[in-house]
Amino acid sequence: MWGREINGLVLTFHLAGINNQNFLMRDEQTGTYWQQISGRGISGPLAGRSLKLIPSDELTFKLWKSEQPDGSVLKDIPADAGDYSPKDWDVKIQKYPTVLSFPEHGFKPRDVMLGIQAFGEARAFPYELVLREKLVQDRVGTEPVILLVGPDGQSVRAFRANDDFFRAPDGSMMDSATGSRWNFKGCAEDGKSKGACLERIEAIKDFWFDWRNYHPNTTVYAGAGRRRK
C-alpha cells in the first residue's frame, strides 16, 4: 500500500500493464509508470522516485473486526462483484502458471512468502512454515525480528523484538524480561511493560517468484534452529 502524494501533488493511479505478473500503474497527473511491488517510478517524469510505503496488514475479517469494531469496509461494486475472486482464490491460483521460476531452496514459483525488506536486508519467510511455528524469532539485517501468528491462526505480524519473547502454553506471547503478556497488536496487556508496544515491521505477502524477482539478493528463513542462508 502506497502514499499517493509526491511533492504536494496527489496522484491518481490506473492499472496500466503487467510486468512479469506484477502490475504496473500509471498516474493520471504526470503519466509516470510505477511498479506495484516496489512503489518505484520506472518510466516518465517521476521515474526513479519512490512512493511512501503505508503500513498495512493482511488479516482475516474476524480478526480485523475484533480490533476495529467501529471500522469500515470497502463496498463491492455490484456490477463487478460477479467477477471477484472466490474465497479459495489463493488455493486456485497455485495452479495458474508463471513466467518466472527461481528453483533455489526448492520452492515452487507460487509458494507464498512473507517478505520483509528492512535494516539492509530482504528476507523471505515461507508463510506455511511461519503458521506452523506460530512465533518466529530471527534477524533481518542488523536487527532482531519476530513474526507472530494471530489468534485466527492465519494472520501474521512482524515486530522488531529480541529473543526475550516466547510462546506461553496458552498460546499468548510473553517476554522473560518483564513477564508481560503481549497481544497480536504487539502491545503489552499486563506486567511491567503494560501499555508498551513493539515497533511494527512491514511484512508483504507475496509469491516466491515475485518476491525473488524484485529482491534478487533475498535470504530465506529455513526454520527455527536452522542455519541462516
Partner 1 sequence: MDDSIATGPAHPKPAFSLIIATLAIAIFFVAYPDYVIRPMRHQGAGELQAALVVLQYQHLAEFLCAAAALLALVFYLRLKPGRGPQIRAISATAVVLVCAAFSRVNVFEVMFHPAGAPSFQPARETKLDGDEKVLAVNTRAYPIRSISYHHIVNDVAGGVPIAVTY
Residues 95-134 that bind partner 1 (CB under 8 A): 97, 99-100
| Amino acid (1-letter code) at residue 191 | G
Contacts of 146 (CB under 8 A, 6+ apart): 135, 136, 137, 138, 158, 159, 161, 165
Residue 58 interacts with partner 1 (CB under 8 A): yes or no: yes
Residues 19-38 that bind partner 1 (CB under 8 A): 19-21, 23-25, 31, 33, 36
**Cβ atoms within 10 Å of 205's Cβ, excluding its own:** 14
Residue 197 interacts with partner 1 (CB under 8 A): yes or no: no
Nearer to partner 1, 69 or 225 (CB): 69
The stretch near partner 1 (CB under 8 A) out of 75-83, 140-148, 170-178, 219-227 is: 75-83
Cell numbers that stand for 28 in this block: 493520471
- Whole-number minimum distance, CB 136 to partner 1, in Å? 20
Residue 94 interacts with partner 1 (CB under 8 A): yes or no: no
Task: Return the sign of the alpha-carbon dihedral for residues 184, 145, 226, 38.
Answer: positive
Residue 44 interacts with partner 1 (CB under 8 A): yes or no: yes
CB 118 within 8 A of CB 201: yes
Residue 2 interacts with partner 1 (CB under 8 A): yes or no: yes
Residues in the chain: 229
CB 196 within 8 A of CB 163: no
Contact positions vs partner 1 (CB under 8 A):
1-5, 10-21, 23-25, 31, 33, 36, 42-44, 51, 54-62, 64-65, 68-77, 79-81, 83-87, 89-90, 97, 99-100, 152, 154
